[in-house]
Amino acid sequence: MKAFLKTSAATCVLAMTAASAWSGEIWVTNEKDDTVSVIATETLEVIQTYETGERPRGITFSKDYTRLYICASDSDAVQVMDPNTGEILHDLPSGERRRCDHHRCQHRDPQGRGPD
């Protein structure tokens, strides 16, 4: 339970899978640790943790569950992981994330539209 609480303390995104191989697992991102952890649903214990790019913020599985796509926002990439091995197979470019130095972002798109 301690490992689960430690993992939950970080900002995380849950991805519960429906595939039989992972039906008893919850996959979470740990933004501050630059990792993805796997939690067993029966025990709520962390059973595996994988290194990722900087600040993983979102994850999703491919339809056939053979790939895990990880948004590594501070690495400006979507990483493609083999969930069976934890190996990062390659990165897909995602472009730079817009960063704001103030409480409300004032960026505008090319047509002049903003966050108003």
Number of domains in the chain: 1
Q: Is residue 111 part of a domain?
A: no
pLDDT at 111: 55
Q: Is residue 103 in some structural domain?
A: no
Check residue 113 and give its pLDDT.
Answer: 56
pLDDT at residue 9, rounded to an integer: 38
What's residue 75's pLDDT? 87
pLDDT of res. 47: 97
Is 9 within a domain?
A: yes
115 belongs to a structural domain: no
pTM: 0.66
Is 69 domain-assigned? yes
Mark the ranges of the chain whose per-residue pLDDT is less than 50: 1-20, 101-105, 108, 116
Give the domain extent around 6.
2-93
Contact 79, 69 (CB under 8 A): yes
Question: Which CATH number covers residue 71?
Answer: 2.40.128.630
Identify whether 71 is part of a domain. Answer: yes
